Structure 1
Amino acid sequence: MTEIRTPRLLLRRWTDDDLVPMAEINADPEVMRWIDDGRVRDLEDTAEDIETWEETWDDEGFGPFAVELLASGELIGLVGLSVPEDLPEILPAVGLAWRLGRPFWGQGYASEAAQAVLEFALTDRGVDRVVSVVRIGDTASENVTRKLGMTLDRETVHPGYGHDLHVHAIDLSEYVA
């Protein structure tokens, strides 16, 4: 089983116990406002998401990690990798994304977990370039990409939702662990 430990977090594969807390995160309109079409996701949607994320792990050898606090074991969200198939103009690519519950914002957890996943992608999984797709206006996520050393690669528009996007990228040759 693939796990990553940081000073405060455990990043791991998904379990049945993660369904309800992740559904609670997905039900928060403030959490979801920058994701996809901005709609909240219910328990059934979240169950489908977790099943898809686990299939991604099986198919790709990477995927979104469940992120929990080491101190309490509480699930705080997800950070992980996927292929951004909804943006064919940037393919082939591996994307890095995060989604944390609102009580965990502003504490450096997203940056801490994303840094660990970026290192995992570039040094363990043999990925030579990682992108992060951020809706323009999502300043918190823009800040995380800067902390990771990612730079703006391009601006584009999401073909399905019409949102203006920034695509940030970092190559293995630019990465400093």
Structure 2
Amino acid sequence: MNLSNDKGSMSTASSSFVSDHFPAGLKVLVVDDDPTCLRILEKMLRTCLYEVTKCNRAEHALNLLRKNRSGYDIVISEVHMPDMDGFKLLEQVVLEMDLPVIMMSADDSKNLVMKGVTHGACDYLIKPVRIEALKNIWQHVVRKRKNEWKDIEQSGSVEEGGDRQPKPSEEPDYSSSGNEGIGIGIGIARLLFLS
């Protein structure tokens, strides 16, 4: 699902990004040194129909990401790991790959959560992680892609050949009457990626 910054391939990437089964197939890399937590997370993520790669060491996860940048859509990482601090992994992923990263820990201290968010994490999950939280991680990927496309659109695209700024009237209305949820989110995702 990784989208190239090549503007010419943007429309091809966007049409292949969202299928009728989205968010099934979301490519998730899970990093945790606790084998029990890793197995439980893998099972829950597979229940959500995501493609899961698991790592028990942050350095191994970073090597996987470097070798195959387009192989993952999102990373979920434990904060406390012996080989590399989860925040160091977060920092490297944000700098090198610009993928959404979700931090997780049994430690729910305000300072730790704040550190995760200020260092670039898109979310912070408290263990034990609930499947309801995992069902919605695709929203971070959609949000990231939307922002990337907005930046490309504002800088002008090859097809349009100019500095086209979107007009307010061109923006679809995503408001709802309190009926927010996955169904609306998927509808928004389809609008964003099929346009």
Would you call these one fold, judging by a TM-score over 0.5?
A: no
Q: Which structure is higher in helix share? A: 2
Larger radius of gyration: 2
| TM-score normalised by structure 2 residue count | 0.30
Q: Give the structure with the larger strand fraction.
A: 1
